[in-house]
Amino acid sequence: EPEVTQTPSHQVTQMGQEVILRCVPISNHLYFYWYRQILGQKVEFLVSFYNNEISEKSEIFDDQFSVERPDGSNFTLKIRSTKLEDSAMYFCASRWSANYGYTFGSGTRLTVV
């Protein structure tokens, strides 16, 4: 069964450093998402991406965040200057069509120290 692949599974970074979280969505999917879950809290929507542009972003997704699909296969989330409160599990997801369900990746646990 096709999978959404996220790397790395766990990343530790120092406050103020830039991090890039990587995702390989399912190859024929058209809609891409990032969600995050701070420990003990809800899974929260960050951003959706379609046709090479952001289609919606939450208030969490400020200027420190950016997404990119550089080569038609990877989908990345960049945090320019990490803060302690960015520590969370980040989930990538993709969908084939509007009426098709999400497929989520296993997540990247980001720890900012």
Partner 1 sequence: AQSVTQLDSQVPVFEEAPVELRCNYSSSVSVYLFWYVQYPNQGLQLLLKYLSGSTLVKGINGFEAEFNKSQTSFHLRKPSVHISDTAEYFCAVSDPRSGGINYKLTFGKGTLLTVNP
Name the minimum Å distance from CB 74 to partner 1: 17
Q: Would you call 36 exposed, middle or buried from its count of C-beta atoms within 10 A (0-12, 13-18, 19+)?
A: buried
Phi-psi category of residue 51: left, alpha or beta, with phi > 0 → left and psi -120 to 50 → alpha: left
Write the binding mask 32 to 51 for partner 1: x where contact by CB under 8 A, - elsewhere: -x-x----xxxxxx--x-x-
Name the minimum Å distance from CB 42 to partner 1: 5
Q: How far apart are CA 12 and CA 72, in angstroms?
A: 27
Residues that bind partner 1 (CB under 8 A): 3-4, 6, 9, 31, 33, 35, 40-45, 48, 50, 55-56, 91, 93, 95, 97-99, 101-107
